[in-house]
Structures are given as C-alpha cells and as structure tokens.
Structure 1
Amino acid sequence: MPEMTVSQLIADRLVSQGVRRIFGLCGGHIQPLWDAVARAGIEVVDVRHEAAAVYMAHATADLSGDLSVAMVTAGPGLTNAVTAISNAFVGRSPVLVISGRAPRPQTGMGAMQDIAQAEIVRPITRLVEQVSERHHVISRLDKTIAAALGAATGATGPAYIDFPTDLLEETVHDADIPAVAMEPRAAVKIAPSPDLVARAAELIRASSRIVVIGGRSVRTAADEVRAFLEAAQALYLDSGESRGAIRDDVPGYVPAVRGRAMAEADLVVTLGRRLDFQLGYGSPAVFSPNARFLRIGTSFEELGETRRGDVEVQGSTAAVLTALMQSEASPAAPDTDWLTDMRKSNEERSRKLVAKLQLPDLDSDGRMSPNFVVGAVNDLLTDRSVVVADGGDILSFARVGLKSVDYLDCGALGCLGVGVPFATAAALERPDEPVVAVIGDGSFGFTAMEIDTAVRRGARAVFVVANNEGWNIERHDQVDRFDGNCVGVDLPGCRYDQLARSFGAHGERVEDPGELADALKRAMDNAPAVVDVVVSRQAKSPDYLSGLAAVPPRQAVGPWNAAEMKRFATQ
C-alpha cells in the first residue's frame, strides 16, 4: 500500500461511500482532512457559518436519500452547528458530522478550542464517536456512517465523529485497514414479520375508511405507496417530511380536506411517521375515537411513540407495503360514497385556493397578500422543481398554497433560517431544475450571508423574501393578547435586494403586485437571485388563526387543544 495519512484514509472511505460533496467551513483542527477530501475529488462547498453546512447536508440527504456530510472545525465551529444538527435529528436526516479536536498531547490542558464536544452533541445524534488511535479510524467511521443510515436504532439521523488534529496527520500502516474497509454501507432495509403482515392485512380488510399518512420514508418508496393506495382504496395525506413524493395525479391525495380525513377515518396508516404535534399526537381529540392505527416504521418513534398502534409492523415502508399487497390487503366493504365525497370536497377546496392565490388582496396600506406571492411562485414551478419554505408567518401561507412538488421546510423543530442553505444545496443537487425558496424576512436574516455561498458556487436558486418588516406571528399575538404592547417584533427599512446585489447576486424589490411575475422571471433567468417582495403585515396566517402562537398547553393548535381539554375534563 502506498504511504498515506489518516486524513487520506478517511477521504478514501468517504469516496467509497459515494460521497460527492461535503459542506463545511475550514479551520485549523480539520485542515489536514479538508485538504485530503478535496484532493480525493470530493467537491467542498465552503459556507459562511457552520450551521449552514449542516443545513445543506440535511437538504441534500433528504432530496437524494443518501448519506450526506458536513465538516466543521473544533470548539465554536461545532457549537455553531448545534442548532442545525438538532434540526436534522428531529427530521431524522442521515447526516454525517465530522469535526476535529485538540491534539492528543494537549488534552486536558486548556488547549485552544478544547471543549466537551461529544457531550454537547450526544443528545442530538444517533451516535457519537471520538477516535484517538489510527487503527480505530476505519471501524469507528464505518460504525458512525451505519448509525446515520439507521443501523444503530432503526432510525436515521445525524451521527458525529471527531479526530484529534495530530492523528489526522499520522501515517497509516497496512494493519490499520481491514480487508473490507472500503465497502460502502447501504441504508437499512428491514423485512417485516409475516405474522405482523397478516395481522395488518386483516385490519385493512375490516376497515372501510382508510387514511394513509406519509413520513420521510415515502421519499424512497413512492411507487409502492401509489400502488398500495390504489389497492387499499385509501386516501393520502403528506407531511413536510415527504411532500412531493405523492402528488395531485394520485386520486387519493386529499390535502385540502386534511382535518376531516383525520377525524373521519376508521383506520389510520402511518408510514415512517412520528405522531408528533403536527398530527395531534394521534389523540382521539383529533382523530376519530373509534379509529384504529396501523403503524409502519423502523424505530420505536415511528411505531409506538405517543400512541401505540393496534398493529405495529417493523420494516422498511417499501418492503411492508409490498408484503401487504402480496397478501391482497384491501377493504372488504370500502365506503365508496365517503371516498367520492372526500375527493370531490378536496377538488372544490383546491379550486377555491387556486383562485384565492391569484388575488393581490391589497390591505389598507396598499400591500399585497402573502397568498399572492405563493401563487406567483407556483407559476415558476415544474414537475422537477424543488421549493423551500422558511419562516413563521410565510411558512403557513406557503405550506397551504404551494404546488405539490419536491418540498423542504423548517420541519417539526420549527427551525427558522433553513431557507437559503436548503435552496442552495437543492440547486447544487439539481442544477437543471427551478429551485425556489419562499422565506420570511425575519428568517432570511439568520442565513442571508449564504447568498454569497450561492454566488460563489453557482447555485441557481431564487430566494423570494416575503417582507412584512417584522416577526409577524408574534406581532399579531402581541397586538391581540398583550394590548398592543409590541416589543422586539419590528424589522423596518431593510433592503434585502440591495444586500443580494452586494454579494454579486441578482436583486430586485417589488411593491406593485403587477410587477411580481416579471420580476420572478428575471430572477429565474439571472439566478442566484433575491426578490424582496413587500407584503401585508395585516394578513393573518392560517397558523396564527389556529392559535399556534399562544402555545396552548395540551395541543399545538387552538381547536385541537380545546377538544383535548374537553376530553380530559370528562374523564
């Protein structure tokens, strides 16, 4: 074997795993590895803040279905990344986070940037490994990759590994590399138990109103999900984890009647989906008290968390659905009238929404509705587009109104600031397709510097900033519940178009709704681009109207919380 360093060995292992791109920010503690991965042919996307590196890896993992890698330096390099690692953890995205740490001879002596890195990230990762010997490098790295891909717990998610800088420069010997060291790790695929498949099939046969709710696993099992929906005569509801995998061409796709479908189903099938706050924790206050649950997933949080399934089938979504179809699992007496009515109601509401998105609906200050911005963005999208939603107020409008294309948003953590890095990563992953991010002006501020990254890397994304000059959900809350005592919620006078131009991106400001369509087209032709759109601050978003800002005690939104409180009061 030609002489090589530990850094070169790690780089070769990442290449063998199929890693084509690493997101990161350089620093002394990782410089040997930073150099080695670049020399190994891996594209290094250098960012302006370490959180953005992990956000970009997160988006890439979600869109590709493969392991993605972020590399950050020690100390503050890692702590800067903690919020983004937390977001990937809640989103269960397979991200490998690599860091450096102080040289071994300086351990425990107050070395530069020497903190308890492993203890900081342990609660928000699937696995933490700290390597101190060269003969452990490959086995520990392989273990960490496997954990990110779900081998450790059945749940994918970020996994962390670090190396002392002096180790990265050590020379590797033949004995340090096992014979199969460079074989890639595949994502975990779990075959279901035949007995559980049989029980699940009986549950389906005995049901008449079936609703399937998709989680992140649907992104890699879309064909099987479509076939199952047809065979089971089931309706389908997506979530931010999988939106775009199943679209309007599927007859059972009924996003516009989501609440009714959840309340009236007699069987709820979850596919790799947690029953978190977005699904009312599976409570009888949100779903029918008589509904039964079939939960399909690879980990406890997808199978039994918050509410046990009547049947819980551990297995990969594609494998379980294939087994169910082979068992001819379909309802013996489907409620066809209900199915027809639900599809008709969905079509009617969808038509009304499309019409609403075409109206500027100017407020008393002459500012356009956020809905109009969403409608204009829809006109840019193709079947291959990626759209990103980031913010508080605008996320609510966008989640309801955006077309069903591949979609990414803040996720269940509510992690503002993902918009620019998510869209930049998406544009690098899909360079030939339109990538558009709809971002609130408050959220834009978290990662606006990454417009520079998009310019330097040639990421042709369009960033549409819905500028209402404030943190609008909180502003409405302070007006309505706190007697108009507005504190820390105004962001007046910011010119995000000018900021974009200072980085070398195309930038425009739009105040007249009649100019928006042309401005967006110019932005698409000259991407990366920022379109700073002045929108109404008087408009109240669906999330605000649902009571989300008040943070109710038992459920995330007001109506569900009221139903939950009533349920507990009668017990």
Structure 2
Amino acid sequence: MVVDFLVAGRVDRVFGLQGGHIQPIWDQLGQRGVRIIDVRDEGAAVHMAHAHALLTGQCGIALVTAGPGVTNCVTAMVNAQLERAPVLLIGGCAPRPQDDLGPLQGVAHTEILQPVTRWSRTLRVADNVLRDLDKAMTTAFGDGNAPGPVFVEIPTDVLRERVHPNLVLDEYLWPYEPRLIPPEPSGIQRAAELISGAKRPLVVTGRGAMRAGGALAQFLDKTGAVYLDTQESRGLIPPDHPAMVGAMRGRAMQEADLVIVVGRKLDYQLGYGSPAVFPRSRFIRIADCVEELRDNRRGEVEIFASPARALEDLARAAIERHSRIDKAWTEDLRRGHVQRAERYAAALKSAPAGKDGHMHPNRIFAALQETLEPDAITIADGGDILSFARMGLSPGTYLDSGAFGCLGVGVPYGIAAALACPGRQVVVISGDGAFGINAMEIDTAKRHDAKAVFVIANNAAWNIERLDQEMNYGGRVVGTTLQYSDYSMMAKAFGLHAERVTDPARLRPALTQAFKNAPALLDVVVTRDALSSDAGKGLGWVPDHQALTAWDEAESRRRSQ
C-alpha cells in the first residue's frame, strides 16, 4: 500500500539504504519497477531527494532503516527545511509488540526529527497509513505551511498487515495539485501606491519565488525596479536582464528606498533587514507562507499570496500609475554591474598563482566558462570555494550548500541532478574538505551511471578557518590543514574517469574529456593563498551582530548612536 501511494503520486525513484526494518517496502519497490538509488550513507539519500525535488518540482523520497539509519539523516533534514525542499523521509521502526522492551535500533525517531521537519509521525494503524501518507505529502509540498521535509516511520509489523480493500479510499491516491493563493486586492493597491512613489525600488527574491520567473521579469519590466537574486534564486531571470545589479549588491541595499522581498526570509545573508544594512528602506513583503512574510522586518504592506499571482497583479497595477523612478540611479547601478562583471570575467583567466606555485581557484571557473553549455546544472559545495563559485559561475540552474552552510551536499546533489536531467551537463565544484564528507558517494555515481563531473578544488585546507587563525589568532594554525591527497586515485579505484590537474593550461581539455566520460572526477590542486570574498569580509570570524564585518561595524554604530 505504501508503494501504491508512491506510484500514484508519480514517484519514479527512491533514494535510500537498505535495512531489515524497511524490507517489505524495499521489496515492493523493486517488484513495481520503482528505481531505487541505493547510497552509501543515509544522509546522502536525503540530500539526493532534496536536489531531486528542487530540480523536478516533485516530492523527493528517501527510505532508510531504523536507528542509525534515521539519525544519520538529521543534518540533511535540517538543510531541506531551511531550503524549503519537499522531501518525504520514510523510516523503519521496531514492531509494536517490542515497544519499550529495548528493541533493535529502537529510538525516539519522531521526537528527534520533530524540531527539524514540518511533520513527524509514527504510522501505527495500518488502516490509516494511506490517509497519513497523504497528509505527509501535502505538508511537504506546503499545503497550509512552507514546503519542507516530513518524516514518517512505520513499524515493521504494520508493514506486514493486510488492509481490507473497502478501507483503501481513492482520494488518498490522488496526486498533489498545488494551490494558487490570490492576493487581496486592497494589498495590491496599497503596494502599487508605494511602488509608484518610490524613486529607488529594489526587488530581492528567495526560494519561494522560484516558480515565478516569468511574472518577476514582467514586474521588473513594468516598474523599472532593480533586482538582486540570492543563493536560493539564482537563474530565476536571465543574467543579462536590465534589472540585474548583483555586482552592485552592497550599494543597492544601502541606497534603495523601497525593498520588495519575494519568497525570502531576511536572514543573515540579507543583514536581517536591519536599518544598518538598509538605512533608507521601507519594505513590502510577498510570500505564500507566514514565516517568509514577517520575520525581522515587517512590511508596510504584507501580501500573503502565491508570488507569481501577486507579481502579475502588481505589474498590471503599475501600468496605471506614474512612476517616479530615479533613472540615473538605476542606470548607474546597471552600468557598474556590467563593468564589474566584465572585469571579473576577464580576471578569471589571468588570476595569479600563489606563493606556493599552485594555481588560483578562479582558473577553474575560467575553464568552466569556456566548457559549459547554456543549460548546464552547476553545483557548488564548500566554504572558500563557494565564495569563488558564486562569482565565477554564470547564473542558471544552480544549487549550493545553502543558508545552512551544509558542506557535503555536492556529490549527492550532483548524482540526483545527473539522474533527473540526463540530457544536461552537470558539474559539481567542491572544496577538498567538503568533498570528503560524502566522498564515498562517487561509488553511487558509478553504480547508477550518474553522468556528473566532480571538480575538486584541492588546497589541502579548511581555508576560511585557516585564514581566520592566521589573521586573528596570532598565526596559530591548528586543525585546519589537510594533505594534498590525490582524489583522482580514489575515483579511479571506483571506476570513474579521473585526472589530477596541476597546470591551468590542462583544465579545459581535462574538463572536455571529463564530460565525455562522465561520471568523472578532476582533482585540481589550487593555492591556499587566494583570498575569497567571504574570507575577506570576515564570514568565518563570526562577528557579534552581523555575518559580515562591514555590516557588523554598521550595526555597532547604529546601536551606539
């Protein structure tokens, strides 16, 4: 019956790791032709389900056994929650007659996962399993709440029970259909008045806006507002759209007089919306869930609606009003954005080697710019390298470690992406530290023929932390250096095409060969001397009030005035 529910919901693959407690489900999946992507660690299964969900719009399904099988998933479930990823994790559970007797792998799974999921339940009554799975799936998709991960466990004896056909109601097998929430007309009118009166409007988007790209582009065209994406919304509009001013992010945030936040929390990446970071701004908040509507800064107008519907209505309302846009400001921001982006792109090819003689990590991105196809899926994983990747990768279909800073997602995300989108290039750029967390999943990539290319920027260090020690702790470098291990040898042991690259001139041909022979891994030796943007801005230093030192200093000034 569990598999009936998944098949009815158009689930064609499940990510998991086998165990006795889930054997009845596992066996039925195989019999029914549902593809099982068996992994080497349960957390990786949830990461794969997460990426599959974001790339396909489906609910990602992970299946794991009891005890350590479930607890190994906690970090990945937190990451999925922060990323609004619809994931259904099905866990094994000891048979009911063994309750409180000390059964094998009998721990309080639901209590452990309750704080990091949208819903966490034990399905103890076989007759109600379909109803409860329907509740779990709709909750994961965000029916009445933000999308996010849910957890259900089913005792093994319940899995073995038979349910009378009269109790199997067809309505619990209907595929989920998302609800469109229309905005209140009064909210649209008040927001339109604010927008028409603004001279320097700025739009910022997050994950909640990812299905609203067309409506967003129309709104930007009609209003003349400038636009900033975030980690959650890269590629939502084309990088050459005239509203895009990402390279002028700091100035846009400082000088905007109205900020329209769409489907995005005002978290640390946006300075919590603080007046220290947005000193001149009023806010409009648009979201389809309350937690993205009124955190940290309230909006003068708060529109609870599907973002696409709200933006469409606002674009129509904008046509009817006279705009007061400061065109000199928007044009100056756009010009500055284009100039900075062009300078940065040119500098990638000539980035100097470090004092250790190893190449600058930006040389990787110069080679990728010449190798990637327009519809390529790019994934960045790590600390230091993530900062370079955000600048060096062109916006498109992009995933990374996210607001949680969840290192280790790269290989699992890449596998899920390659399997979900087999006709597209998939490349994972990972630091060597981050790669090590789920490195064994390259075996999964090989076994399931997931044609991703894994590029390891190998600087033999946890480099943001090492630089913090160098700069702020008297040069006492402790526990932040690794070996220049040859990860290509590891990959070859699992049967992947692999190469170690130490010469920048070899990068482009190596990438070309890697894409032809994927799954593949390139171990690229890079310098520790390169200072990333995040390291330079103090992200690894953990200031008191804000994530970045400049914002923290501004916050301290605001608090002392």
Unaligned runs of 5+ in 2: none
2:108 alignment counterpart = 116
Q: Distance in 1 between matches of 2:63 and 2:223?
A: 44
* Aligned residue among 304, 316, 338 for 1:326: 316
Deviation string 1:30-58 (CA, Å, 9 cap, x unpaired) is 11111112322221111100010000111
* Aligned residue among 88, 103, 114 for 2:80: 88
1:355 alignment counterpart = 346
The alpha-carbon deviation at position 14 of structure 1 amounts to 1.1
Q: Distance in 1 between matches of 2:537 and 2:495?
A: 40
Deviation string 1:152-188 (CA, Å, 9 cap, x unpaired) is 42x0100111100111111121232124121111234
The alpha-carbon deviation at position 189 of structure 1 amounts to 2.6
One-letter amino acid of the structure 2 residue matched with residue 378 of structure 1: Q
* Aligned residue among 415, 428, 432 for 1:424: 415
Corresponding position: 1:376 with 2:375: no
Equivalent positions of 1:133-144 (< 5 A) are: 133-144=125-136
Q: Is the 8 A contact 2:459 2:528 kept in 1?
A: yes
Q: Is the 8 A contact 2:255 2:280 kept in 1?
A: no
Q: Distance in 1 between matches of 2:104 and 2:313?
A: 55
| Structure 1 pair 12–538 and aligned structure 2 pair: CA distance change class (3 A) | same
Q: Distance in 1 between matches of 2:477 and 2:318?
A: 59
One-letter amino acid of the structure 2 residue matched with residue 109 of structure 1: L
1:48 alignment counterpart = 40
2:453 alignment counterpart = 462
Q: Distance in 2 between matches of 1:217 and 1:378?
A: 28
Q: Is the 8 A contact 2:196 2:318 kept in 1?
A: no
The alpha-carbon deviation at position 12 of structure 1 amounts to 1.2
Q: Distance in 1 between matches of 2:240 and 2:541?
A: 37
2:484 alignment counterpart = 493
1:242 alignment counterpart = 233
* Aligned residue among 142, 165, 168 for 2:159: 168
Q: Distance in 1 between matches of 2:27 and 2:322?
A: 58
What SS does structure 2 have at the residue aligned with 1:241?
Answer: helix
Corresponding position: 1:298 with 2:288: yes
- 199-208 vs 139-148, greater mean Cα deviation: 199-208
- 218-227 vs 407-416, greater mean Cα deviation: 218-227
One-letter amino acid of the structure 2 residue matched with residue 124 of structure 1: V
One-letter amino acid of the structure 2 residue matched with residue 325 of structure 1: A
One-letter amino acid of the structure 1 residue matched with residue 12 of structure 2: R
Corresponding position: 1:187 with 2:178: yes
One-letter amino acid of the structure 1 residue matched with residue 503 of structure 2: D
* Aligned residue among 502, 511, 514 for 1:520: 511
Q: Distance in 2 between matches of 1:193 and 1:35?
A: 49
Instruction: Return the TM-score normalized by structure 2.
Output: 0.98
The alpha-carbon deviation at position 325 of structure 1 amounts to 2.2
1:23 alignment counterpart = 15
Q: Distance in 2 between matches of 1:332 and 1:514?
A: 51
Deviation string 1:396-436 (CA, Å, 9 cap, x unpaired) is 11112211111000000100000000111111111111111
Q: Is the 8 A contact 2:17 2:42 kept in 1?
A: yes
Equivalent positions of 1:143-222 (< 5 A) are: 143-153=135-145, 155-222=146-213
Unaligned runs of 5+ in 1: 1-8
One-letter amino acid of the structure 2 residue matched with residue 151 of structure 1: D
Find runs of 4+ consecutive structure 1 residues off by over 4 angstroms. none
The alpha-carbon deviation at position 331 of structure 1 amounts to 5.7
Q: Distance in 2 between matches of 1:331 and 1:469?
A: 57
The alpha-carbon deviation at position 379 of structure 1 amounts to 2.0
Equivalent positions of 1:371-450 (< 5 A) are: 371-450=362-441
Q: Is the 8 A contact 1:126 1:152 kept in 2?
A: no
What SS does structure 1 have at the residue aligned with 2:232?
Answer: coil
Deviation string 1:237-259 (CA, Å, 9 cap, x unpaired) is 11111111212231111111111
Corresponding position: 1:71 with 2:85: no
* Aligned residue among 302, 308, 311 for 1:312: 302
Q: Identity over aligned residues, as a percent? A: 47
What SS does structure 2 have at the residue aligned with 1:181?
Answer: helix
What SS does structure 2 have at the residue aligned with 1:54?
Answer: helix
Corresponding position: 1:509 with 2:509: no
One-letter amino acid of the structure 2 residue matched with residue 14 of structure 1: L
Q: Distance in 2 between matches of 1:177 and 1:161?
A: 19
Q: Distance in 2 between matches of 1:40 and 1:193?
A: 46
The alpha-carbon deviation at position 493 of structure 1 amounts to 3.4
CA-based RMSD of the aligned residues comes to 1.2
One-letter amino acid of the structure 2 residue matched with residue 351 of structure 1: E
Instruction: Return the TM-score normalized by structure 1.
Output: 0.96
* Aligned residue among 67, 78, 92 for 1:100: 92
| Structure 1 pair 333–38 and aligned structure 2 pair: CA distance change class (3 A) | same
The alpha-carbon deviation at position 111 of structure 1 amounts to 0.3
Q: Is the 8 A contact 1:380 1:434 kept in 2?
A: no
The alpha-carbon deviation at position 335 of structure 1 amounts to 0.9
Q: Distance in 2 between matches of 1:151 and 1:331?
A: 38
Deviation string 1:184-239 (CA, Å, 9 cap, x unpaired) is 11234322111111111111111121111111133211111111110111111111
| Structure 1 pair 179–522 and aligned structure 2 pair: CA distance change class (3 A) | closer
The alpha-carbon deviation at position 63 of structure 1 amounts to 1.2
Q: Distance in 2 between matches of 1:257 and 1:374?
A: 21
What SS does structure 1 have at the residue aligned with 2:73?
Answer: helix
| Structure 1 pair 331–408 and aligned structure 2 pair: CA distance change class (3 A) | farther
Q: Distance in 2 between matches of 1:272 and 1:379?
A: 33
Q: Distance in 2 between matches of 1:427 and 1:179?
A: 34
Q: Is the 8 A contact 1:213 1:270 kept in 2?
A: yes
Corresponding position: 1:271 with 2:246: no
The alpha-carbon deviation at position 130 of structure 1 amounts to 1.1
Q: Distance in 2 between matches of 1:179 and 1:387?
A: 40
What SS does structure 2 have at the residue aligned with 1:327?
Answer: helix
What SS does structure 1 have at the residue aligned with 2:415?
Answer: helix
Q: Distance in 1 between matches of 2:68 and 2:167?
A: 31
Q: Is the 8 A contact 1:135 1:175 kept in 2?
A: no
Q: Distance in 2 between matches of 1:508 and 1:113?
A: 42
1:5 alignment counterpart = none
Q: Distance in 2 between matches of 1:169 and 1:371?
A: 55
Q: Distance in 1 between matches of 2:531 and 2:318?
A: 47
**How many corresponding residue pairs?**
560
What SS does structure 2 have at the residue aligned with 1:328?
Answer: helix
